[in-house]
């Protein structure tokens, strides 16, 4: 059994026209859904706006990674006894993940790297608790400034970090850190 798919010239023109109309309608629907709207008016995506949107997405992704690393550091410091090996591995991981990024997140990334290094030095016994607290407070300040820039996506919360004394007795230290709610 054979199937004959020959089209006359008029059928070919009609088929091509219908395909073209369906393609245009599909592009119109897609375009209306992805076109940004500012003050109720659609905005044409120029190369500069496209680049700015890409940088904003990249900075948001970096902010999420910074926040995840800050949570890991807080979990480490919240332990009754800070393991020096775990602290060093975490500090190396934070450095590897945070050493590159956009300039918008640079101060927070650098402060987080410094806090992770300070936590590793504290766990190893080469840094005093007072110095650790000062470095972590600076990192939290810079992180809060970065997270405050995403104000519609953030709400206030508190993060409790328990720093042990040299004798192993826990000491509760509470700092405020905006928690990102997704």
Predicted confidence pLDDT, tens digits, the chain (182 residues) = 676 777 788 888 999 999 999 999 999 899 888 787 778 888 887 888 888 888 888 988 999 999 999 999 988 988 888 889 999 999 999 999 999 988 889 999 999 999 999 999 999 999 998 999 899 989 988 988 887 765 544 344 444 444 444 444 443 333 333 333 22
Q: Is residue 160 part of a domain?
A: yes
88, part of any domain = yes
Q: How far apart are the first and last CA of the chain?
A: 59
**Is 86 part of a structural domain of the chain?**
yes
Q: What is the pTM of this model?
A: 0.62
Tally of CB atoms within 10 A around 141:
15
31 domain-assigned: no
Residue 16 covered by a domain: no
Domain count along the chain: 1
- According to DSSP, residue 38 is labeled E
Q: Give the C-alpha distances (Å, rounded to integers) separating 181 from 18, 39, 154.
A: 47, 26, 6
Q: Which residues span the domain enclosing 67?
A: 58-180
Which are the contacts of 59, defined by CB distance < 8 A and separation ≥ 6?
Answer: 102, 104, 105
Query: Where in the chain does DSSP place strands (E)?
Result: 37-38, 41-42, 154-155, 158-164, 170-176, 179-180
In a domain, 52, yes or no: no
Could you tell me if residue 2 is inside a domain? no
In a domain, 90, yes or no: yes
């Amino acid at each position: 059994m054979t199937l004959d798919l020959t089209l006359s010239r008029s059928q070919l023109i009609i088929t091509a026209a219908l395909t073209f109309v369906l393609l245009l309608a599909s592009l119109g629907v897609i375009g209306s859904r992805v076109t940004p709207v500012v003050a109720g008016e659609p905005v044409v995506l120029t190369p500069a706006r496209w680049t700015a949107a890409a940088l904003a997405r990249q900075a948001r992704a970096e902010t999420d990674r910074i926040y995840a690393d800050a949570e890991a550091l807080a979990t480490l410091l919240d332990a009754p006894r800070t393991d020096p090996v775990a602290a060093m591995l975490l500090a190396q991981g934070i450095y590897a993940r945070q050493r590159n990024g956009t300039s918008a997140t640079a101060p927070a990334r650098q402060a987080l790297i410094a806090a992770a290094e300070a936590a590793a030095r504290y766990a190893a016994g080469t840094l005093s608790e007072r110095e650790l607290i000062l470095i972590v407070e600076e990192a939290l300040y810079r992180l809060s400034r970065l997270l405050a820039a995403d104000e519609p996506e953030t709400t206030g919360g508190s993060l409790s970090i328990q720093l042990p004394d040299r004798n192993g007795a826990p000491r509760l230290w509470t700092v405020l850190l905006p928690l990102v709610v997704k």
